[in-house]
Structure 1
């Protein structure tokens, strides 16, 4: 690991970012451009002390997970992310792993939707980033690990994943999940992460295996979603999507028709946050 160059690279990227670039208010007391160290630490999900020690060329060797978090927090491009890994003493992540990296353009849009339930999901159904209202609405979907990172896998293997969805919608949702995964498998082929998920589901879920034999085709239309939230009850939501073809990532934004009960409940969730009443 090249501590000096790593520290210099992080400092340069931190100073180049403006608060507005990451959805933060500038505030009247900010005298210099760029982000503060504690702001980068918060955006990256680590302590301010840990990040400061990296910039000061001391402290522990950052892990690949920490470097990936810094790449997201600093809104790095893929080329910049690869350079960060090299400075940290790690090989450049393989293309298959790049599905974990949120495109900076997607992050800039997400930063401006902090009052709206929105999240970035890759083509494997793995949630990469969420706004606070999305966590309040759907729970922290970034906390999962292994195969369970995929919402497709959880839907067919974890009964809790179906709890928020009305029972009468389960069959439709199952077909949609299978179609999404079928599209990912068709694109990535054998030996891919999509293939690993498919093989695991074929071995454990008879429902998925039956749907898979039908070769379901993904529709571009995102139908209204009905959910049951433990705090506010039933909601009927619309889901607008923005697709980044280069990254195979989708920005999902959940809204409700203005003036409806569901709209009022979404506003209440924004106040409640992820904490239970």
Structure 2
């Protein structure tokens, strides 16, 4: 089945796809140039086509890309001429496969088109060694490596002492939102738990706006909506919030009250980026109590 070219949207329809007119025009031109450069890079032999004696075009012809992608020739031509005001995820996916794009190129393609990639593969759970070193070296301060969905990918010993060891949990439960919603320990020890949950839900909603079609984001959200009536009620408020440093209180059963400031160190500018979250003591008493925990772990 060939994906036919839709009618050119009217100006008011184009407005609904977001961005200012000048920005949209720049994006269309960048998208067109990027597709031409990728098309010219792929040889006919790479996609199972004969080269033929009269081929002058470097790489593939437009009609060949359209045919291999099951996209109308006219519509693909419009895209490369920066005339297409909105390109669907289905078309982008087909073209990316035809042009043999790697994950970075594919992500760039969808970003230029302003369209969420519905087939984003699960993020690699293997944390970079450099990030793991940072997390470990932050001891005696608790620290974790997280992604944009607040999944805990790695944690150091102080974090495990204060909050519990994520390694002892099922992988699906290694998530800050999940723990704030379901963990008896977090509900008991996080003295600002209600405020933290509202804030984190608002941040998750703000972050999810860029990942609405991604299965991992929807799966996490659906799981939380199913397991917690409290979460459902807070989610229905449609509140959003930025990621900002803040101080929270934790009552540890051994060393007592610890006040920690959450600090985010992003490892990459792209979303969903990994970030190191450091829990820095907000006062001298809290620092002394973290040091005491560290001594107990070596005792």
**Residue 206 of structure 2 contacts residue 242 of structure 2 at CA under 8 Å; is this kept in 1?**
no
- Report what 1:160 is aligned to: 185
Instruction: Answer yes or no: is 1:193 the counterpart of 2:216.
Output: yes
Aligned residues: 181
Do residues 264 (structure 1) and 283 (structure 2) align? no
Q: Report the 3-state secondary structure (helix = DSSP H, G, I; strand = E; otherwise coil) of the residue aligned with 1:216.
A: coil
Does 2:243 correspond to 1:207? no
Could you tell me which residue of structure 2 aligns to residue 138 of structure 1? 163
* Residue from 202, 211, 215 that aligns with 1:179: 202
Q: Which of 162, 173, 177 is equivalent to 1:148?
A: 173
Match of 2:264 among 228, 241, 244: 241
Alignment of 1:250-261 (within 5 A): 250-257=275-282, 260-261=284-285
- Structure 1 residues 110 and 205: CA distance shift in structure 2, 3 A: closer
| Structure 1 residues without counterparts, runs of 5 or longer | 1-77, 80-93
In structure 2, the CA distance between the partners of 1:254 and 1:191, relative to structure 1 (3 Å rule), is closer
Deviation at 1:111, TM superposition (A): 4.2
Q: Which has the larger radius of gyration?
A: 2
The 3 A distance-change label for structure 1 pair 203 and 133 is: closer
Q: 1:235 Cα shift?
A: 1.0
Distance 1:229 1:150, change over 3 A: same
Does the 8 Å CA contact 2:178/2:224 hold for their aligned counterparts? Answer: yes
Secondary structure of the structure 2 residue equivalent to 1:234: strand
Preserved CA contact (<8 Å) 1:99 1:122: no
CA distance in 2, matches of 1:188, 1:177: 16
CA RMSD of aligned residues (A): 2.7
Cα distance change of structure 1 residues 129 and 161 upon mapping to structure 2, 3 Å threshold: same
Whether the aligned pair in 1 keeps the contact of 2:250 and 2:258 (CA below 8 Å) is: yes
Contact 2:246 2:262 in 1 (8 A): yes
Q: Partners of 1:96 and 1:226 in 2: how far apart?
A: 36
TM-score normalised by L of structure 2: 0.54
Q: 1:111 to 1:262 in 2, by over 3 A?
A: closer
Supply the distance in 2 between the matched residues of 1:154 and 1:112 (Cα, whole angstroms). Answer: 25
Does the C-alpha gap of structure 1 residues 267 and 208 become closer, same or farther in structure 2, counting only changes over 3 Å?
same
In structure 1, C-alpha distance between the alignment counterparts of 2:156 and 2:250, rounded to whole Å: 18
State the alpha-carbon separation in 1 of the partners of residues 132 and 184 from structure 2: 31
- Correspondent of 1:217 among 207, 215, 240: 240
Question: For the Cα contact (< 8 Å) 2:140–2:290, is it kept in 1?
Answer: no
